[in-house]
Amino acid sequence: MHALRPNYGTIQDVGTRILSVEDDERIRQAVKLALEDEGWTVDEAESGEDAIEIFQRQPADVVLIDIMLPGIDGFELCRTIRRLSDVPVVMVTARNDTHDIVAGLEAGADDYLTKPFAPKELSARIRALLRRTRPSSTPHARITLGDLEIIPDEGKVARGGEEVDLTKTEFRLLCELADNPGKVFSRESLLDKVWGYDYFGDGRLVDVHIRRLRTKVEVDPANPRHVVTVRGLGYRLQT
């Protein structure tokens, strides 16, 4: 039940490829029809193994994964794709259980939807994920915080001179925080800025992504020195 803020009528890239992984043939067909109506190019895969093969042959811009798959399941597929690419991944869960959602996000998904969803809603989510990686307001070309160096224009982050491999969503999350170091960002405002959700978005998206971000940019993720939790308020980047 995500209320969304659709940007219908905005210009979008032609030929943006979506890889839709779903074992139910009828769902796959219907979703493909609806997504093609929205202007996306859709590749289909009916199993995880299939999906990996297709992805290696023809990398997609967004991957849509149903968690319940025969053979290798959605979580495993997500981890495999993460090893290959930083492409945005949207998980489709059958249930609204915290367990499945958090597990999907931990496996590397950028966002999730619960069946049945409206394909228009999925399009809106994809659009939000594909937005330009650099926050428009960032005036800095290069942000340095202790051993952490962020170059928004190049989409690069380095810790102690060594480049860190972030997904697009993680990078955007870090850039939003770096936009105003020291300022506390609430979960709602991060949901809005990074995922395009309004007030009723799911705070777990932020929490899991922050956790994943920490494992990459922090020396000791259990005692974060850069991405700090402000109890009851949200997160901020330590200056």
- Interface with other proteins by CB under 8 A: which residues? 1, 3, 24, 26-27, 29-31, 33-34, 37, 94-96, 98, 115-120, 198-200, 202-204, 232
Least distance to other proteins, CB of residue 30, Å: 4
Query: Is there a contact between 88 and 169 (Cβ–Cβ < 8 Å)?
Result: yes
* Least gap, CB of 27 to other proteins (angstroms): 5
Rounded-to-10 torsion of CA 26, 31, 36, 38: 150
- If the CB atoms of residues 86 and 207 are measured against other proteins, the closer one turns out to be 207
Q: Which is nearer to other proteins, 30 or 84 (CB)?
A: 30
Alpha-carbon gap, residue 100 to 106, rounded angstroms: 10
The distance of closest approach from Cβ of residue 132 to other proteins in the complex, given in angstroms and rounded to an integer, is 27
Neighbouring residues of 189: CB distance < 8 A, sequence distance ≥ 6: 234
Among 130, 47, 142, which residue's Cα sits nearest to residue 87? Answer: 130
- Helix and strand tally (H, E) in the chain? 8, 11
Q: For other proteins, which is the closer residue by CB, 75 or 197?
A: 197
Question: Cβ closer to other proteins: 35 or 109?
Answer: 35
